[in-house]
Structure 1
C-alpha cells in the first residue's frame, strides 16, 4: 500500500539523516545527460536496469517510477536547471519505513564529458535508515552501471 511521505525541499539532499553520494565521469556532454534525465523520463527503463516503468505526470511536474521488485514512487520535480541539476522528491511510495526521500543529479563539465553526481537522501524508521546504509555499496554499483549504460546509449 502506498503511503505519503513528508514533503521535503531541495535542501534535504544536504541535511537528510542518510545521504548516499556517488559520482562518475562519462563521455557524453552535460546537455545530453541532462536531457536523458529530465526530458526522456520513459527512456530511464533503457539504461537504469532497476527501473521497469518511468513516466512523466502532471504535465512534467512529476514522475511515476516503478522498480524491479515492485517498489513504486510518485515524485515531484524540485529542480530542473539545464544542464546542471535535476532533482525530485518522493511524495508516495510503498517502500516500508520510508518517511522522506529526495534525489539530486548534479552535472558538471569534465573535459569533453560530464561528471555525474547522484545524491540519494532519505529519512525513515531506524530499521529503514540502517538498511539504506547497508545497501549503499549496492546502490553505488547500480548507479555506476546505470550511468555507464546511459553513456553508451548517448554515444549511439
Structure 2
C-alpha cells in the first residue's frame, strides 16, 4: 500500500537528517549524462540494475519508478537544469519508514568527462535513519555500478 511522504523542496537536500553523498568520474560529457538522467527516464532500467521500470509522468514533471523486490515510487521532479542538476522528491511509496526523500544528481565538467555526484537525502524515525546509515555502503556500490554502466552505454566502451 502506497504511503504519502512529506512534500519537501530542493533545500531538503542540504537540511535532511540523513544525507548519503556519492561521487564518481565518468568519460561522457555532462550534457550527455544529463540527458540520460532527465530525458531518457525509461533508459534507467537499462543502466541502473535495481530499476525494473522507469517512466515519466505528468508530461515529464514526475516519474514512476519500480525497483527489484517490488518497491514503487511516485516522484516529482524538483530541479532539471541542464547540464548541472537533476533532482526529484518521492511523493508516495510502498517502502516502509521514510517520511521524506529527495535524490539529487549534480554534474560538473571533469576534463573531457563528468563528475557525477548523487545525494540521497532522507528523513524518518530513528530506526529508519539508523538502517539507512548501515545501507550506505550498499547504496554507494549500487551507485558506482550504475554510473559505470551508464558511462559504458553513453561512450560505447
Q: TM-score under structure 1 normalisation? A: 0.99
Which residue number corresponds to residue 34 of structure 1? 34
Q: Structure 1: how far apart are the matches of 2:97 and 2:112?
A: 41
- State TM-score, norm by structure 2: 0.99
Cα distance, 1:125 vs structure 2: 1.4
How far apart in 2 are the matches of 1:51 and 1:68? 6
Number of residues of Structure 1 aligned to a counterpart in Structure 2: 156
Instruction: Please state how far the C-alpha of 1:12 moved relative to its aligned partner.
Output: 0.3
Tell me the equivalent position of 1:66: 66
Q: Flag as ranges the 4+ runs of structure 1 deviating above 6 A.
A: none
Measure how far apart 1:11 and its partner are: 0.5
Q: Per-residue displacement from partner, 1:112-155 (whole Å, max 9, x unpaired)? A: 00000000000011111111000000000000000000000001
Q: Which residue of 1 aligns with 2:105?
A: 105
1:20 aligned partner: 20
Write the distance in 1 (CA, Å) between the matches of 2:128 and 2:43.
Answer: 29
1:72-97: CA deviations, max 9, x gaps?
00000000000000000000001101
Unpaired segments ≥5 residues, structure 2: none
What residue number does 1:133 align with? 133
1:144 and 1:127 map into 2 onto residues whose CA distance is 26
Gaps of 5+ in 1: none
State the alpha-carbon separation in 2 of the partners of residues 62 and 126 from structure 1.
Answer: 29
Residues 1:81 and 2:81 aligned together = yes
Q: How far apart, in 1, do the equivalents of 2:79 and 2:133 lie?
A: 25
